[in-house]
Amino acid sequence: MTAYSRIAVLDIGKTNAKVVVLDAATGAEIAVARMANTVLKDGPYPHYDVEALWVFTLDAFRRFVREPGFDAISITTHGASAALLDADGRLALPVLDYEHDYPQAIRDAYDALRPAFGETRSPRLSMGLNVGAQLHYQRTAFPEDFAGVARIVAYPQYWAARLTGVAANEVTSLGCHTDLWNPQEGDYSSLVDALAIRPLMAPIRSAFDALGPVLPEIAATIGTSVPVYCGIHDSNASLLPHLVARKAPFAVVSTGTWVINFAVGGDLDHLDPQRDALANVDAYGRAVPSSRFMGGREFEILSAEIGTVAQEDSRAALPAVLAKRLMLTPNVAPGSGPFPGSERQWVNAEGSSAAERHAAACLYLALMNEACLGLIGARGPTIVEGPFATNALYLNVLAALTQRPVIAVAGSTGTSQGASLLTGIKPVSAPETRVEPPAIPGLDAYRAEWLEAVNPR
């Protein structure tokens, strides 16, 4: 065990970024700075504003060195992103926004190159959600710029490289539906050779490795020289504390822009790539059955449309919603999830109140989540982290649908706490709310009608 007292975590989500300082003994957030993660539309394609993130990060480190102080840095970011570095460690091309879509000819050419699902356990996803598709696009559309690439690193390791000068890769990001990783072999997939990029891939390091201290010029800027750890994919950061503290089987539902579901002790042999089921790779290099839908983005869209509704009003509206079969069918955010190709519809919504629509939206999220958990053979309790952990109606409905306990973990998204564990500190217990499966009259009939509406015979 290390003797760190406070850990600074750079935590970059798809929508927001933050720098958090965590107390190593209690896990409490004792300082936090936040900013929006914006996408720039200039240049060759939409890309993340990494320079704004860099200024924000250094400023937060500089302030937090003075108060409350920290003695190590860890990193976690969203997946589906990679950085192409030149020989000087600078970006050879901007860090591409994974929601950018490519010309059809490039997509078709990539489909002919990518390995079968049986090799990678990575489904073919839309836009740039397969990092292999991003690299193929950049290599094909910008050959002169790509010729200047000396190193390819996953997104958490891009920030580690900027801080330390050490280029590395790490398996949780490589194993996050990239098409680049073979989880059974624990090595790169055949796609790496098909794209002729194996010599460019930075060496693989453990997420738990300290890559080195911050560079001297950064130490001078922020006012301290501290070790920087390799970093981890954000959903795997949420999973890590539970791998340390719980026995299988259990499921973890990591909520943010995406709802990522992990079934520890689940079913790796019957994953359906057509329904956004796949294998992720945990911090120890083990394949974990996983599924996902863009639930946070969907709830954000719905909340903007419906307006502000108090949770107690939404809960009070539930019986009426079930009785009148007011329901929302997928997908609010197209292109992912267990029901691909479906287009959202409100059913029996005429004259409904805002509270009723909000309750129906919570039912929708729980039904989508139940479907995702079923696809990966989830068993045991379901641990919910992130914003959805405060949505009491969603938690109760999910417990009732799955007929398994739901454990809501309070506090931050869980990604920051998980990333802090890479430094060797001991995990701490976070406040939990256990929801036993309640009896909700009318829910079974509602679910049957919802499934019929989603998958008509």
Does pLDDT of 412 surpass 60?
A: no
Token pair of 118, please? 């049986």
Query: What's the confidence (pLDDT) of residue 256?
Result: 87
Strand residue runs (E) in 192-339: 210-213, 227-229, 232-233, 250-255, 259-264, 277-281, 287-293, 327-329
How far, in whole angstroms, is CA 110 from its chain's centroid?
24
What is the helix (H) or strand (E) element at residue 192, kind and residue range? helix 190-194
Confidence of residue 245 (pLDDT cuts 50, 70, 90): confident
What contacts 95, CB < 8 A, 6 or more positions away? 47, 48, 50, 81, 82, 83, 155, 158
Which residue in 171, 169, 174, 235 sits closest to 418, CA to CA? 235
Does pLDDT of 456 surpass 80?
A: no
- The crossing angle, in degrees rounded to 10, of helices 354-375 and 392-402 is 40
> Does a cis peptide bond (omega within 30 degrees of 0) precede residue 249?
yes
Positive or negative torsion for Cα 23, 24, 28, 29:
positive
Count other C-beta atoms under 10 Å from residue 228's C-beta: 28
What is the Cα–Cα distance from 209 to 78, expressed in whole angstroms? 19
How far, in whole angstroms, is CA 209 from its chain's centroid?
21
State pLDDT tens for residues 200-235: 999 999 999 999 999 999 999 999 999 999 999 998
- Residue 161 three-state SS: helix
Query: What's the confidence (pLDDT) of residue 431?
Result: 81
Count other C-beta atoms under 10 Å from residue 347's C-beta: 14
**Fold of the domain built from segment(s) 6-230:** Nucleotidyltransferase; domain 5 (3.30.420)
Task: Say how many residues make up the chain.
Answer: 457
- Per CATH, 6-230 and 235-454 having the same topology is answered yes
Q: Is the pTM of this model over 0.85?
A: yes
Query: What's the confidence (pLDDT) of residue 145?
Result: 98
Q: Can you tell me the mean pLDDT for 387-403?
A: 97
Token pair of 99, please? 């929601």
Does pLDDT of 403 surpass 60?
A: yes
Q: Which CATH superfamily is domain 235-454 in?
A: ATPase, nucleotide binding domain (3.30.420.40)
How far, in whole angstroms, is CA 358 from its chain's centroid?
24
Confidence of residue 2 (pLDDT cuts 50, 70, 90): low
Counting residues of the chain whose pLDDT is more than 70, the rounded percentage is 99
What is the helix (H) or strand (E) element at residue 11, kind and residue range? strand 6-12
Domain boundaries, the chain: 6-230, 235-454
Does pLDDT of 295 surpass 90?
A: yes
What contacts 194, CB < 8 A, 6 or more positions away? 113
Q: What is the dihedral of CA 144, 145, 147, 153, to 10 degrees?
A: -160
- Residue 33 three-state SS: strand
What contacts 416, CB < 8 A, 6 or more positions away? 9, 11, 18, 20, 22, 29, 76, 237
What is the Cα–Cα distance from 309 to 358, expressed in whole angstroms? 7
Q: Can you tell me the mean pLDDT for 321-331?
A: 97
Confidence of residue 3 (pLDDT cuts 50, 70, 90): confident
Ordered alpha helix ranges (H), 42-170:
50-66, 104-113, 117-120, 131-141, 143-146, 155-164
State pLDDT tens for residues 327-383: 999 999 987 899 998 999 999 999 999 999 999 999 999 999 999 999 999 999 999
Beta bridge partners of 91: 85
Confidence of residue 455 (pLDDT cuts 50, 70, 90): confident
Count other C-beta atoms under 10 Å from residue 300's C-beta: 16
Query: What's the confidence (pLDDT) of residue 204?
Result: 98
What secondary structure letter does DSSP report for 201?
A: B
Count other C-beta atoms under 10 Å from residue 311's C-beta: 16
What is the Cα–Cα distance from 17 to 59, expressed in whole angstroms? 13
Ordered alpha helix ranges (H), 203-286:
216-222, 234-245
Query: What's the confidence (pLDDT) of residue 457?
Result: 53
What secondary structure letter does DSSP report for 91?
A: B
**With left for phi above 0 and alpha for psi between -120 and 50, is residue 69 left, alpha or beta?**
left
Does pLDDT of 413 surpass 60?
A: no
Token pair of 16, please? 């927001």
Q: Name residue 232's amino acid.
A: I
State pLDDT tens for residues 101-123: 999 999 999 999 999 999 999 99
What contacts 70, CB < 8 A, 6 or more positions away? 6, 7, 8, 21, 64, 224, 226
